[in-house]
Amino acid sequence: MTQQADLVVIGGGPGGYEAAIRAAQLGLSVICIERRVHKGKPSLGGTCLNVGCIPSKALLDSSHKYHDLKAGYDNHGISTGEVKLDLAAMLARKDKVVDQLTGGIAQLLKGNGITWLQGSGKLLAGKQVEFTPLEGEVQILQAKHVILASGSEPVQIPVAKLVDDVVVDSTGALEFQIVPKRLGVIGAGVIGLELGSVWARLGSEVIVLEAVDQFLPIADRAIAKETQKILTKQGLDIRLGARVTGTQVANGQVTVSYTDANGEHSEVFDKLIVAVGRRPVTAGLLSSDSGVSLDERGFVAVDDQCRASVPGVFAIGDLVRGQMLAHKAMEEGVMAAEIMAGHHAQFNYDLIISVIYTHPEVAWVGMTEERAKAEGFDVKTGQFAFAVNGRALASDDNQGFVKFVADAKTDRLLGMHVIGPAAGDIIHQGLIALEFGASVEDLQLMCFAHPTLSEVVHEAALAVDGRAIHAIQRKRK
């Protein structure tokens, strides 16, 4: 007998499980299919919770605490004894955080009456879904609606094939049992910088090889320049224009060959992380007669509301165009669920926050200065440093700055960019302002609490018009 449901979601990552929950809240019968087995047991939460966002942030937090303790708190009047690293305990804490969150999602699905099927799903013609369980016989599910949310996987490159635990992807980089003496990272993107930071704090000599000549080309140039300077000072040897041409593993080490403007080079590492991007997981997801189209890059083709080429079928998250971010997938999943339930829903793709969880954190939303000028705006900008902020100084965490980009003709905010303490949280002030079409003056007229890190936001807004109080600026009318 064919099992039926109003909605079948293929994929239990952030986008998939949030779509399932929202659909259930709206009264739909929902089945969520997830095939992931993490450390020997079925697990919801996708890449983000199991081997991505959450475990990496757990290690970033633990490694930052270790680094700070080892560096000492003498300037705070705090003396500590010898600081020792228990890497096994640090990894166990990371796993505990993952288990707590993934277990919580399972309870949320159960509490909302959602059926979790453990195995793989394939979309067939007529919105039928072929379900292959981890154990048992294949079943056919009939759905009124289907959401494809199978996520993404690390890109592998021929010149650096994965080898045991020597040449690894981002997943393997979370499981090193010994701190490598020399660590190579291919790719100076978000993942490469975060994982490189983790192991550098724990004692590795880290060399980052980036093929392009520009550091963080997606970020505002002022932010990218400051980020590179700070991370270099922290010990990350970032080599731009370094194109890897080959790798050779021998005696538990890997020799990496690369070329740059100065010719051919090679480096020997104990471990090598390949972090050159991610690609959508479509293998086994669609039958040849499903009717769902892929674009030229292998993503599922969708419209602005995530509708695929078959009526009643949606695709979300890393499977479709746009940035590969968990929060993007979440909002797309909720939007899709509301549309199929007959509600009006939309998502503002122009205002998706990006965050790099190094220390200091880096975050931005809206237009960079370079993009705004390229699109013909008469741009004005304002920038203010955490270096003179009372709360940042009191916390001994005062690197970086806040920058605003605005339209000089209308005074409307166009973008906000932050490098500094709690940047990933502070950036949401810019998101709200941009979403509501705020002007620079709107922020200037607000009263920010003192002493707080957020005062830097206020001062940066004032700086757009040369009015920052705690900085000497050229007088303007």
Distance CA 337, CA 343 (A): 9
Which residues on adjacent β-strands are paired with residue 291?
none
pLDDT digits (tens, 9 = 90+) for 335-348: 999 999 999 999 99
Segment 189-211 mean pLDDT:
98
Give the pLDDT of residue 472: 86
Q: What's the chain's length in residues?
A: 477
pLDDT, tens digit (0-9, with 9 covering 90-100), for 118-154: 999 999 999 999 999 999 899 999 999 999 999 999 9
User: Using one digit for the tens of pLDDT, what is the confidence trace for 256-289?
Assistant: 999 999 999 999 999 999 999 999 999 999 999 9
Please determine, looking at this structure, whether the domain spanning 3-154+279-340 carries the CATH number 1.10.290.10.
no
Exposed/middle/buried for residue 21 (C-beta within 10 Å: 0-12, 13-18, 19+): buried
Instruction: Say if residues 275 and 199 touch (Cβ distance below 8 Å).
Output: no
pLDDT band at 88; cut points 50, 70, 90 = very high
Multiple choice CATH, 360-463, 3.90.1300.10, 3.30.300.30, 3.30.390.30, 3.20.20.10: 3.30.390.30
* Percent of the chain residues topping a pLDDT of 70: 99
Q: Stretch 430-448: mean pLDDT, rounded?
A: 98
Joined tokens for residue 113: 């009456």
- Where in the chain are the domains? 3-154+279-340, 158-276, 360-463
Helix H segments across 10-52? 14-25, 46-51
Identify the active-site residue in 145, 343, 450, 458.
450
Strand 253-260 relative to strand 152-154: parallel, antiparallel, unpaired?
Answer: unpaired
Three-state DSSP at 345 gives coil
pLDDT at 473: 77
Angle between helices 53-71 and 87-111 (to 10 degrees): 150
* Average pLDDT estimate for 46-67: 97
327 given a catalytic annotation: no
User: Quick check: 169 and 157 in contact, CB under 8 A?
Assistant: no
Q: Greatest CA span in the chain, whole angstroms?
A: 78
pLDDT tens digits along 412-422: 999 999 999 99
- What is the CATH architecture assignment of 158-276? 3-Layer(bba) Sandwich (3.50)
Alpha-carbon distance 450 to 400, whole Å?
Answer: 19
Which pLDDT value is given to residue 476? Answer: 57
Transcribe 383-422 into DSSP letters. EEEGGG-HHHHHTT----EEEEEEETTT-BEEEEEEEETT
Whether the Cβ atoms of residue 42 and residue 12 lie closer than 8 Å to each other: no
Under DSSP, the state recorded for 301 is P
Q: DSSP 3-state assignment of 227?
A: helix
Nearest to 147 by CA among 239, 11, 268: 11
User: Residue 290's closest CA among 120, 115, 121, 116?
Assistant: 121
474 pLDDT above the threshold of 90: no
Q: Tell me the mean pLDDT in the region 382-390.
A: 97
pLDDT digits 0-9 by tens, 452-473: 999 999 999 999 999 999 998 7
Mean per-residue pLDDT for 434-457?
98
pTM of the shown model? 0.96
Distance CA 331, CA 231 (A): 32
Per-residue confidence (pLDDT) for residue 477, from 0 to 100: 52
**Same-fold call for 3-154+279-340 versus 158-276:** yes
Q: How far apart are the first and last CA of the chain?
A: 77
pLDDT confidence bin for 2, thresholds 50/70/90: confident
Average pLDDT of every residue of the chain: 97
